[in-house]
Amino acid sequence: MSNITGKTKVCGIIGDPVAHSMSPIMHNAAFRELGLDFIYVAFQVSQNDLKEAVSGIRSLNIKGINVTIPHKVTIMPYLDRFEPLAKEIGAVNTVVNEAGTLTGYNTDAPGFLQALDSNGVDPKGKRVIILGAGGAARAISFALAENGAHLIILNRTYDTADKLAHHLRQKYNNQIQALPLNKESLAQTIKGGYLLVNTTSVGMSPNTAGTPVETRLLTRELIICDIVYHPLETRLLKEAQRIGAKTISGLDMLVWQGVFAFEKWTGQRPPESIMKNEALSLLGRHEN
Ligand code: ATR
């Protein structure tokens, strides 16, 4: 970072906690690779300070911001404009500052679709089972519904899944159903399912012994995508691989949402392989 000058443009991430974010290492590697005079830093911002932090983006002329837990929804009243998809989803993970006007985007949704595409998976017309109904599930279910998938949303708190399904049905004609997350509904939905996406935190480090789907319910016909990327291979992914099912790791979505955010700030397409390798090496260091 020795060549930071008075002209260097600043991007960053706001969240709480944010110290373990993969984004600084991914974006800085891509800036270096493309020779762009940009730097990316992590800002820990508490919920109470969010409004002032957003004013700071304008006053310090920060070019771009990623937004992570817990601010993806609560940042919205402080922004000036939104792309339609972010408004529809009701969550923002990327902000672009153009002369003090802040526009909110959601790159989690296209990032997820690109992760599927880069693994040769096309959800159009297929039955997709989504586990969880929180912020990540909202972005993913809008992305899938937009692409013509039929959705079955399973959540521990049934009411949240039901609300999300209701919201989606107002916009899309695809079949969209909500069920409680339990053995019976899993067994019933997995039969005709094409893809299962885990958006819950079950299996995430340090609770790596957990899995949201009992091993005996998995079949080799069902593609498994886990958006948890720490550990890189969750118990769910390992067990699916063991029986010969196709799997997609959460790292792919993480990298692609970053690729699309980077494009919005710089107008250039970053090399996703560099971003992925940086994230892999950081995660490898965490896991060892
Ligand atoms: P994110 O933005 O990552 O989606 P979130 O909005 O807090 O985070 O959502 C977390 C999701 O994981 C929710 O669907 C939550 O289920 P509830 O709505 O019932 O809380 C789900 N989740 C978290 N821990 C879980 C557990 N131990 N078992 C099942 N689901 C769990």
Query: DSSP alpha helices (H): ranges in the chain?
Result: 23-34, 50-59, 84-89, 108-118, 135-146, 158-171, 183-190, 235-242, 250-266, 272-287
Per-residue H/E/C for 141-208: HHHHHHCCCEEEEEECCHHHHHHHHHHHHHHCCCCEEEEECCHHHHHHHHCCCCEEEECCCCCCCCCC
Distance, CA 201 to ligand 1 centroid (Å)?
A: 6
- Say whether 9 is catalytic: no
Distance, CA 80 to ligand 1 centroid (Å)?
A: 30
The atom number, within ligand 1, closest to the CA of 136 reads 4
Assess contact for 124 and 148: CB atoms under 8 A.
yes
- Does the Cβ of 157 fall within 6 Å of ligand 1? yes
- pLDDT tens readout for residues 171-230: 999 999 999 999 999 999 999 899 999 999 999 999 999 999 999 999 999 999 999 999
- Does the Cβ of 156 fall within 6 Å of ligand 1? yes
Mutate to test the pocket of ligand 1, among 67, 156, 181, 197 (most ligand atoms within 8 A of CB): 156
**Percent of the chain scoring above 70 in pLDDT:** 98
Considering just the CA atoms, what is the radius of gyration of the chain in Å? 19
**Percent of the chain scoring above 90 in pLDDT:** 95
> Can you tell me the distance from the alpha carbon of 178 to that of 161, in angstroms, rounded to the nearest whole number?
5
> Can you tell me the distance from the alpha carbon of 221 to that of 213, in angstroms, rounded to the nearest whole number?
15
- pLDDT tens readout for residues 226-267: 999 999 999 999 999 999 999 999 999 999 999 999 999 999
